[in-house]
Structure 1
Amino acid sequence: MDNNNFSGDISKCPFHGGNTVSEKSYQWWPKTLNLDILHQHDVKVNPLGQDFNYHEELKKLDVKALKKDVTDLMTDSQDWWPADWGTYAGLMVRMAWHSAGSYRAFDGRGGAATGNQRFAPLNSWPDNASLDKARRLLWPIKKKYGNKISWADLIILAGNIAYESVGLKTFGFAFGRNDIWHPEKDIYWGAEKEWLAPSENRYKDLETPTSLEKPLAAVHMGLIYVNPEGVNGNPDPAKTALHIRETFARMAMNDEETAALTAGGHTIGKAHGNGDASILGPEPEAAGIEEQGFGWSNPNGKGKGRDAVTSGIEGAWTTNPTKWDNGYFDLLFGYEWQLTKSPAGAHQWEPINIKDEHKPVDVENPTIRVMPMMTDADMAMKVDPIYRKICEKFKNDHAYFSETFARAWFKLTHRDMGPKSRYFGPDVPSEDLIWQDPIPAGNKNYDVNKVKEKISNSGLSISEMVTTAWDSARTYRGSDMRGGANGARIRLIPQKNWEANEPQKLQKVLNILEPIANEFNISLADTIVLAGNIGIEKAAKNAGYEITVPFKVGRGDASQEMTEVESFEFLEPSADGFRNFQKQDDNISTEEMLVDKAQLLGLTAPEMTVLLGGMRVIGTNYGNTTHGVLTDKQGTLTNDFFVNITDMSNTWKAVDKNMYEIRDRKTNKIKWTATRIDLIFGSNSILRSYSEVYAQDDHKEKFVKDFVKVWAKVMNADRFDL
């Protein structure tokens, strides 16, 4: 319903305000645990249907014809949104860059792999102004090729071809990104309620860039990286450099990659600020329906071309902004720069006494020369001693700069696609890159039952086997397809030293399993997962059920040399509700962190529920604590957790912030202790409904079968080779 144009009684409209019943519930009871993120990509919202297989569609794609069409688009200027200097290269690069640039390494969310730029909030971020036009320019091509090319792939391909059209030899390109069909509205982008709110909202101390709130990477709500005008809009290149370093580090980029991306991104195209930014219309999500998905309508002059306003900064960075050259460094180091303001009032830098032939020409009239500019972020490349040294090397070796940028661009645009086994197309580079987390193929030809017999007789306990397999697999993140049991990186630095993995206990288990893996010439990764499965099977047998946990052979073992230690540090768990572990007292509640972990593992709320209940009774708690175990038969796969969390013969008493006593209602005797995570399955109305299902007398076997199914799902989450 369009509330702006509706003339009836809006008080009678059940959808007034655009909020769902679920959203309104959280407005009334803001402390209620929000489970929506576990169901945000329900198959019901996918118009292509549950059976749609994008990789099968890609096999039908005429890649050569598609690339030609995208190349032709670059110079096919449209009157409704004319191309600067006759090419859309700069616009398409910015679209692809900002699609990929929302990625952050702490939780792997954001990035280009889902086509999420089409939806709110990203489609309406201030930093993405005018990218609605770029996507609409691509629509005829998407329409032509249909299901054979996803929006996610097309957006990045357009950026790649844009660079090739101006002379850069790119490193490669991979198809394989699947589109989503609903906004990722439950991803945490920050607590601010307004765009571009002061940075202090995100930092414990703005003078200490590393104090930026985790898992965020951008310095403002609605920006991709840093503020181009300076920290909080106050120009200071030296200070900006420190924030650039932290922001790009949170995308797993080093200093050289950061400098290359900054310079290479600004080698072509221009910023737009030739007008009054305050008169722009609302962003796409707030615009009237007559705008048909467009936002930021501009009544200034023609509102496009020379008169376009996007960031508010105005001008090109180089003399020839339609060519891949060293012009960025020539101007940056060839002149002294002074602070000025754009016509829109934004802070920017301009060269002092620039020669007329070094000025770029006007986007509409090549007979007119205009002033180039640099942002505060660009000046940081000159002022910061580390970035300056790198950029001077680039300036003196254009081939090295081009190669470094091409590799960094490939990393930026493919970082969240997961392993190379998910890549598709003729331009996939053959080189294995360390940030792709390479894993060699494992042995698939062995007698699984003989290995299981050896492990079963090894003396390892149910808890030790299940815990080790879980700790190996729980690192998986569906956000960027990193982590998981495949590769057995749990035995390598940094994972073997993580507190959550209980290093001493872990090493004991590995010392037993490694000789077994060597004896049968199989991967330790397979051996660890098999051991976990054996533990589950034994626990089920103790409960009276003969089951076989599904197992897929073929995992490989990565080496330390194949492991990028710094980027894997981002995967270290600060909490794991499934094992009742919490490393630190964060502002985020333990139950919210459990939901976050479950979503990254690809679990639904019912799956999260049955998995946690089963792990409690098996006895997988960190440090062997009994909090939340809720059974007298630990090591037996029963539904006791759910029976006892819903038992009204109990009372519950808080002992401290995260500890509770469960007492007998009649005798007041302490029966168990539990944490917030345990009690949430009895207190939250949605989770309690699931707990009641598994507590039913007729669902004891269902509980076991459902637990096994979810366990196998987690163990195989990273098996893209299947």
Structure 2
Amino acid sequence: MGGNELKGAGKCPVMHGGNTASGQSVMDWWPNALNLDILHQHDSKTNPLGADFDYRDELTKLDIEALKTDVHALMTDSQDWWPADWGHYGGLMIRMAWHSAGSYRLADGRGGGGAGNIRFAPLNSWPDNVSLDKARRLLWPVKKKYGNKISWADLIILAGTIAYESMGLKTFGFAFGREDIWHPEIDTYWGAEKEWLADSDGRYEDLENPATMENPLAAVQMGLIYVNPEGVNGTPDPLRTALHVRETFARMAMNDEETVALTAGGHTVGKAHGNGDASVLGAAPEAADVEQQGFGWSNPNGKGVGRETVSSGIEGAWTTHPTKWDNGYFYLLFTYDWELKKSPAGAQQWEPINIKEEDKPVDVEDPSIRYNPIMTDADMAMKMDPIYREISERFMADPAYFSDTFARAWFKLTHRDMGPKARYIGPDAPREDLIWQDPVPVGSTGYDVDAVKARIAASGLTLSETVSTAWDSARTYRGSDMRGGANGARIRLAPQKGWDGNEPTRLAKVLSVLEGIADATGASLADVIVLAGNCGIEQAAKAAGFEVTVPFAAGRGDASDETTDAETFDVLEPRADGYRNWLKKDYAVSPEELMLDRSQLMGLTASEMTVLVGGMRVMGTNHGGTMHGVFTDQIGALTTDFFVNLTDMGNSWHPVDGGTYEIRDRRSGTVKWTATRMDLVFGSNSILRSYAEVYAQDDNTEKFVTDFVAAWVKVMNADRFDLV
């Protein structure tokens, strides 16, 4: 083998590098390069069920009553390998469902239980999720039995809901319809910390002002679902903790009453575990050795289960009867005075002073032994914060009201990221419309679409006006929690009609015309807005030499102010729109990264993003009519000019003041066009350039129009769950 002979028989034959767990990623060499991976999450190649699998169809084959019976039976079927506290898995299953759903955050709609993401890193290994690996394994026999007819995402939330039912709560309902993902959402931003449970200070401009927590984060520390149960940065102070609880729950779209109900209801059953030394626990699931088979946090001391379980470090139950839904939480909280103590694991917790023996919960294994109940710092906040106390006292005086409020809050917690009721499946889905579901009435389909289009064509509105308005109406959609979109025509309502990104003056002009057309034809305004955009696309395609009809599905409805939770719609306001070449202001994050984030929320791929940006530029739909990126002398025609001129090597590119660029003729130095980073990234990023070059080719002018129309329709119909 000469000079290339292997030196030693034991040399590894595998070429190590970015394709191994220990190797360096290719992109690690260029840490500032634009990472497009977020647009390619959940590629079909990761799904073992195949492209033809339809979960909604599989659900029609599910014997729901049999499934519920089996999950009910599981609650009290204590397993030898992981015995249930008091012979009931309710507390564990509730915690699993809660922590699956509780990662949801309102700011960007990411997190939540709607995709079964808790199965994967980092959530499966968060310190706050210790022992939830066992909860999912306890459910495995049920998942195995029902197979593809029930997703993990649905089963996890169902288990928590049935756990409450099995302990006496009348729940508000349950809806199936959550489809599993098969790969971790590794590009979701959970914080900048490099250490689990690092102090909160880095997440806030001012730790004493919880509202200054970095957006879009909601939890106070890396690896926690909500707040530190021992207090801010582990220092007990219930009044200070109350401020952080209020901010954290608000960032999950919960008001004060819902916050108290969830806190009390979550701690009415089950217990915290800290009867041991947490420092000796083994690695989290994602780091554990192969023989652990996906289990983590192994406990080398004793059994590691029952009374020897260690998870949060806090030890004890909150109520006298932790497997029974009752008002015991408030009874203990207000009947006794509480003092700070240390758990066996060394955690700060509150325990009652001079409690009656009969008010103590019994040991999880031996009912002849009783221990003090406990409260966390957040629990004490429910008593000491004036607002929370008033609500708590109301609940204590009216147990039925508390139960109903909690049941509704639990339903909201576990269904918030499912989107509108059109996505709900199953006999237990409640019929009541809830404002946080963003309800939209069913629109008419019986009007004459061609007559509407004719009126739009004769309206005097420009192509730019119609396309921009339709785009602005639809671009609010985010697939993270299925909110926003064109259905409902909420662009005409507060707060959307006043958003800077929607150009309120232009918007008001266009809507006044389109509302008249809707009134005259019987179409909803939502449909007319989309049809107007479609007409603009058809006009632009014709100007480029192509006759196309943009596909359209009637049936959108018009929402009202009464059915719009205006306060929570504020989070949908665009701060940037790369498609219309607009930034509200300069941000620490680059404009192109903001464009990727918006594209991912809309469910677009990198190639769809590319074709849409190129088409929007040449149609002249930039915010405020700016000419940045409009690389064409035939504005309004759906041509490939953006890509042709971007890749033309007769041009050179030069930065100027204000974060913009000039594109100059290479020979004469004459300025031909101006651009932003959101334009030039399609030529500078190697992946995006590869897409841009496809559309710059002489043989792909028709493909460009076809691809643009397909991507446009995808955006317009993103929230049409009635079409699924």
Task: Indicate whether the TM-score tops 0.5.
Answer: yes
SS in 1 for 2:588: coil
SS in 1 for 2:532: helix
Q: Could you give the per-residue CA deviations for residues 298-320 of structure 1, whole angstroms, max 9, x where no partner exists?
A: 11221111000001111001111
**1:493, 1:565 within 8 Å by CA — same for their partners in 2?**
yes
Rounded to whole Å, the distance in 2 between the matches of 1:16 and 1:284 is 23
What pairs up with 1:295-310 in 2 under 5 angstroms?
Answer: 295-310=296-311
Q: Could you give the per-residue CA deviations for residues 119-150 of structure 1, whole angstroms, max 9, x where no partner exists?
A: 11110011111000000000000000001111
The answer for the alignment partner of 1:14 in structure 2 is 16
Unaligned runs of 5+ in 2: 1-8
- CA shift at 1:9, angstroms? 4.8
**2:18, 2:26 within 8 Å by CA — same for their partners in 1?**
no
Rounded to whole Å, the distance in 2 between the matches of 1:88 and 1:565 is 40
What pairs up with 1:407-418 in 2 under 5 angstroms?
Answer: 407-418=408-419
Report which stretch shifted further, 25-34 or 64-73. Answer: 25-34
Rounded to whole Å, the distance in 1 between the matches of 2:61 and 2:307 is 41
The answer for the alignment partner of 2:499 in structure 1 is 498
Rounded to whole Å, the distance in 2 between the matches of 1:687 and 1:15 is 24
The answer for the alignment partner of 1:334 in structure 2 is 335
Q: Could you give the per-residue CA deviations for residues 145-204 of structure 1, whole angstroms, max 9, x where no partner exists?
A: 001111000000000000001100000000010000111111111111111111112111
- CA shift at 1:657, angstroms? 5.5
Q: Which AA in structure 2 matches 1:485?
A: A
2:632 pairs with 1:631: yes
What pairs up with 1:556-567 in 2 under 5 angstroms?
Answer: 556-567=557-568
Rounded to whole Å, the distance in 2 between the matches of 1:634 and 1:212 is 44
**1:164, 1:170 within 8 Å by CA — same for their partners in 2?**
yes
What pairs up with 1:103-502 in 2 under 5 angstroms?
Answer: 103-502=104-503
Structure 1 length as normaliser, TM-score?
0.98
Unaligned runs of 5+ in 1: 1-6
The answer for the alignment partner of 2:519 in structure 1 is 518
SS in 1 for 2:25: helix
- CA shift at 1:453, angstroms? 0.5
Structure 2 length as normaliser, TM-score?
0.97
Rounded to whole Å, the distance in 2 between the matches of 1:84 and 1:537 is 65
Rounded to whole Å, the distance in 1 between the matches of 2:386 and 2:15 is 60
- CA shift at 1:478, angstroms? 0.7
**1:129, 1:296 within 8 Å by CA — same for their partners in 2?**
yes
Rounded to whole Å, the distance in 2 between the matches of 1:484 and 1:16 is 39
**1:104, 1:251 within 8 Å by CA — same for their partners in 2?**
yes
- CA shift at 1:658, angstroms? 2.2
The answer for the alignment partner of 1:4 in structure 2 is none
* Identical residues among aligned pairs (%): 73
The answer for the alignment partner of 1:57 in structure 2 is 58
CA RMSD between the two structures:
1.3
Rounded to whole Å, the distance in 1 between the matches of 2:501 and 2:12 is 52
**2:17, 2:25 within 8 Å by CA — same for their partners in 1?**
no
Rounded to whole Å, the distance in 1 between the matches of 2:12 and 2:458 is 70
**2:618, 2:636 within 8 Å by CA — same for their partners in 1?**
yes
Rounded to whole Å, the distance in 2 between the matches of 1:282 and 1:687 is 40
Rounded to whole Å, the distance in 1 between the matches of 2:22 and 2:591 is 26
Change over 3 Å in CA distance of 1:8–1:606 after alignment to 2: farther
- CA shift at 1:355, angstroms? 1.2
What pairs up with 1:63-74 in 2 under 5 angstroms?
Answer: 63-74=64-75
Rounded to whole Å, the distance in 2 between the matches of 1:695 and 1:158 is 53
Q: Could you give the per-residue CA deviations for residues 436-484 of structure 1, whole angstroms, max 9, x where no partner exists?
A: 1111111101211111010011000000000000000000011111110
**1:10, 1:16 within 8 Å by CA — same for their partners in 2?**
no
Q: Which AA in structure 2 matches 1:423?
A: Y
Change over 3 Å in CA distance of 1:558–1:299 after alignment to 2: same
The answer for the alignment partner of 1:3 in structure 2 is none
- CA shift at 1:10, angstroms? 6.1
The answer for the alignment partner of 1:604 in structure 2 is 605
Q: Could you give the per-residue CA deviations for residues 299-349 of structure 1, whole angstroms, max 9, x where no partner exists?
A: 122111100000111100111111111111111111111111111111111
**1:617, 1:630 within 8 Å by CA — same for their partners in 2?**
yes
The answer for the alignment partner of 2:4 in structure 1 is none
Rounded to whole Å, the distance in 1 between the matches of 2:587 and 2:171 is 42
State how many pairs are aligned. 715
Rounded to whole Å, the distance in 1 between the matches of 2:11 and 2:516 is 75
Change over 3 Å in CA distance of 1:53–1:347 after alignment to 2: same
The answer for the alignment partner of 2:5 in structure 1 is none
Rounded to whole Å, the distance in 1 between the matches of 2:240 and 2:13 is 51
Rounded to whole Å, the distance in 2 between the matches of 1:8 and 1:406 is 62
**1:104, 1:250 within 8 Å by CA — same for their partners in 2?**
yes
**Divergent runs of 4+, >4 A:** 7-13
The answer for the alignment partner of 2:38 in structure 1 is 37
**2:18, 2:25 within 8 Å by CA — same for their partners in 1?**
no
